[in-house]
Chains A and B, each alone.
Chain A
Amino acid sequence: MALKRYLFAIVLALLLGFLVADAASAQQPTPSDDQVNAIAKQLYCPVCENIPLDVCPTTACAQWRELIRQKLTEGWNEQQIKDYFVQQYGARVIGTPPPSGINWLVYLVPPVAILAGVYILYRAFRSWKRPLAEVDIQPTSLEPPAETDTAQDEYIRRMEEEVRKR
């Protein structure tokens, strides 16, 4: 009888132990403020204009930060949380428009414009440089307007020359 009681106690203790261990492993530690901020930093308050969620002082934003913390506790990863916010509040909550549809223009227009500028400049340089070979024969036409800057360059050059001679 005593043995039975011992066995029962051991089984109970083991069961309890398993239960406790299981509960402990299921309960994740609360995410730190820094973990929340790391994600909130990349999101923009859907209400206030252009203020990242990690620093926005409004109550609504405080609630959204708590939402991030909750999702993190539930085991969501960064991308899932961001996707969730986009789904809930639209593309404006992320700092860069998602590259789809008309949004491609955000990324395409500046480089195209700059490359066009480079091309125009290149063409201009080429066209400027060509006639110059002929003009070079009459250097007077190239004389810059007498200026102190050029004079100063010349002055320094001559000074250095003299120094070298000594």
Chain B
Amino acid sequence: MVANLGFGTLIITFLVTIYGAIAAFIGARRNSPALVDSARNAMLLTFPLLSITALSVIFLLVNGHFEVKYVADVSSKSMPFYLRLTALWGGQAGSLLFWSWLMSAFVSAVMLRKWDRDREFLPWVILVSMITLAFFLILSIFVENPFVSFWQSPTGNITVSMFQPAGSTLFFPPDGNGLNPLLRHPGMIIHPPMLYLGFVAFVIPYAFAMAALITGRTDDRWIRITRRWTLVAWIFLSLGLVLGAWWAYDVLGWGGYWGWDPVEIAAFMPWLTGTAFLHSVMIQEKRGMLKQWNMVLIILTYDLVIFGTFLTRSGVLSSVHAFAQSAIGPLFFGFIGLTFLASFSLLSRRWNDLKSEVEISSWFSREALFLLNNLLFMGIFIVCFWGVIFPIISEALGIVGQGVPGLAGIFTGQKVTVGPPYYERATAPLFAGLLLLMGVAPLSAWGSSTSKTLGRLVWKPFIASLVVIVALLLGGMRSWPAILGFWLCSFVAFITIYEFWRAAWARHQGRGENLLRALWLLVGKNRRRYGGYIIHLGIVVMALGIIGIELFQTETQGTIPQGGELNLGKYTIRFDKLSVWDTNDGRNIALADVSVYKGGKFIGQLHPRRDYYYESQQPMTIAGLRSTPEDDLYVLLVDWQPLSTSAATFKIYHNPLVWWLWFGVGVLIFGTIVAAWPSTEREKVVITRSVPETSKA
């Protein structure tokens, strides 16, 4: 009943979407405001309709309707309420529906804005959003329907279908398979919604970009409208990535947070092009340049969002053969190809209208440095993209090679792994370059800066950062990559702090304001700029954590008897006891008590444990973690040897500075809030008028 209701509204939503797209198109072509308004209403209607569909799935999950295949796949009787609720995005069918639901929410919010000044964009924004939504609804209806149920024929055969096959009755399995235990973690519960919010929010700037191309209104209006949406998309995507990293660190039990797994990279690629876009739109806003490039970036970001969902959902990563087995892969592939071609043909039509209004005047101007920043982001993107698709290409070419005798030797079709060593070596210098630019670029002026003007601003923080190098060398550090990394971090941090200081000091001197108040007012007057600086500081702080764990992580492993000890650097752990028991939610828990000593001094107890899930016959190792700004001690109970109360195997990781990675994320969020906070127009006008425009050097 509820399944039928959910499926029914899904079909209705799809029809509404198709209607909305057609109405928007005809409304725009015939210049009929009534039709466009009707399309807008259709868009607004998709959200309540999809809410009914999504709530139906949630109802089925919460009430344990295991006759529905999706419910049986991702939930079980032993799962607590909140896990059944979040199982909505725990499996393929649910997560695709969830994608559509979030997207309809975001686009509806856009529909509610005032459109007075930009009415010509409206039908095209609706059209692009509706087409994207329709695509995901097609997947939900025809390929990954979350409402299909089990049916039992009179002969006892069990089939899966949406509607009742003749003569069969609903089959009720006694229990479901339950959610993959690895996904039962707060990080994993919030991670997909964040990532998806980031994904769907990027559809909005793309829709506006397409509207700008179609209408020919190719000035920076579309960028100004979508600036905040882009920031929102960016922060959600960033949070999604970081939550995924936190989950990996906490749950996967390999002592790291990022494994350069294709699934991670799939979400990282739109972040790279999105971040490049976030920077390069500023050049268009301030200087009227790079209009073509911004279009390229937003088209890429949109298609990478879809591509990311495709990579993780089509099975193509595990094997080219798995890709062909389900219709979902080819459908995604077709949609990406179609939108890519359509977007670029639109872009080529307007190519000449998008020529720059002005040109670059100096190698050291801010726009020149931003272009360099874009180049580095694109470089990292290319490394990632190529690394992810190469194994697929290699395998596919192998299939081709088998058919052509001459090629068999070259295209062996052997599966290859492109793993962390490739990505780390290829991207590290590019990341270092980005970090350096992050410090220097904000100091250069729009339009014109020379090496001299830039040098005048940079030399003080530069000297200060050299002191850091000396301190590191005196402290005994001899790792050159680390020294370079820490130098870059300190250089960027000093420059950024110096920027705050310089401006606040000027206010303090000029207006006699208290320094703190001057700082507050300064940030308040130009939130976007100073918010950006705070984000940069957040990145620097995160970089500290990354350098710490990447370059200084140490580990050891050993089997020790009860009362025995294992050493790693300054730390010693002593195995006190092991308790093993069954829980009533289907787990067997083995929990070890270990005492931790630092330099011989007792500093606390840790409880690494291993949960064994009977349902899925899957173990899950949860680290005992002691996290401080100085370092993390990460103790795992590994089952290399059979666990027993007399002896157990422990693996210890020492991860210096990784605490700062998570702390930096807090700074990043704060900076984004500052940057996206609406500022009053009036203030801007006053500033612009009060200063004569003589900024050309």
| Residue count of chain B within 8 Å CB distance of chain A | 80
Check A144–B447 contact: CB distance below 8 A: yes
- Of all chain B residues, the one with the shortest Cβ separation from A109 is B386
Min CB distance B589 to A, Å, is 16
Contact of A18 with B by CB under 8 A: no
Check B286–A52 contact: CB distance below 8 A: no
Check A106–B422 contact: CB distance below 8 A: yes
Q: Which residues of A contact B360 (CB under 8 A)?
A: 124-125, 128-129, 132
Check B415–A102 contact: CB distance below 8 A: no
User: In the bound complex, how far is the Cα of B691 from the Cα of A154, in angstroms?
Assistant: 7
User: In the bound complex, how far is the Cα of B448 from the Cα of A139, in angstroms?
Assistant: 12
Contact of B78 with A by CB under 8 A: no
Check B526–A94 contact: CB distance below 8 A: no
Check A151–B510 contact: CB distance below 8 A: no
Check A93–B378 contact: CB distance below 8 A: no
Report A139-162 CB contacts with B as 1/0, cut-off 8 Å. Answer: 101111111111111111011101
Q: Which residues of B contact A97 (CB under 8 A)?
A: 390, 394, 416-418
- Of all chain B residues, the one with the shortest Cβ separation from A98 is B416
Report whether over half of chain A's contact residues are helix, strand or loop; otherwise say mixed.
Answer: helix
Contact of A121 with B by CB under 8 A: yes
Given contacts A62-B640, A125-B368, A153-B445, contact A33 B687 (CB under 8 A): no
Contact of B64 with A by CB under 8 A: no
Check A110–B693 contact: CB distance below 8 A: no
Check A149–B417 contact: CB distance below 8 A: no
User: In the bound complex, how far is the Cα of B368 from the Cα of A124, in angstroms?
Assistant: 10
User: In the bound complex, how far is the Cα of B414 from the Cα of A33, in angstroms?
Assistant: 31
Q: Which of these, A92, A118, A149, A150, contacts B416 with CB under 8 Å?
A: A92
Given contacts A34-B556, A97-B417, A156-B503, contact A149 B358 (CB under 8 A): no
Report B358-388 CB contacts with A as 1/0, cut-off 8 Å. Answer: 1111010000100110010011001100110
Check A155–B691 contact: CB distance below 8 A: yes
User: In the bound complex, how far is the Cα of B312 from the Cα of A49, in angstroms?
Assistant: 13
Q: Which residues of B contact A92 (CB under 8 A)?
A: 391, 414-417
Check A110–B684 contact: CB distance below 8 A: no
User: In the bound complex, how far is the Cα of B562 from the Cα of A104, in angstroms?
Assistant: 51
Q: Which residues of A contact B394 (CB under 8 A)?
A: 97, 102-103
User: In the bound complex, how far is the Cα of B681 from the Cα of A148, in angstroms?
Assistant: 11
Residues of A within 8 A of B (CB): 32-34, 37, 44, 49-52, 54-55, 57, 62, 65, 90-97, 101-103, 105-106, 109-110, 113-114, 117-118, 121, 124-125, 128-129, 131-132, 135, 139, 141-156, 158-160, 162-163, 166
Known: A33-B651, A97-B416, A117-B378. 17 other contacts (CB 8 A): A33-B557, A49-B317, A49-B318, A90-B414, A95-B422, A106-B416, A109-B386, A117-B379, A128-B360, A129-B361, A142-B358, A142-B447, A144-B447, A147-B286, A155-B687, A156-B503, A159-B506
Top 7 nearest A-B pairs (CB, nearest first) are: A95-B419, A159-B506, A55-B254, A33-B557, A97-B416, A128-B359, A128-B360
Between-chain CB contacts (< 8 Å), 26 pairs? A33-B556, A37-B555, A49-B317, A50-B419, A51-B259, A55-B252, A57-B621, A65-B640, A91-B415, A94-B417, A95-B417, A102-B397, A105-B390, A106-B390, A114-B379, A117-B378, A117-B379, A135-B359, A144-B358, A148-B525, A149-B446, A149-B526, A150-B693, A152-B525, A154-B695, A155-B687
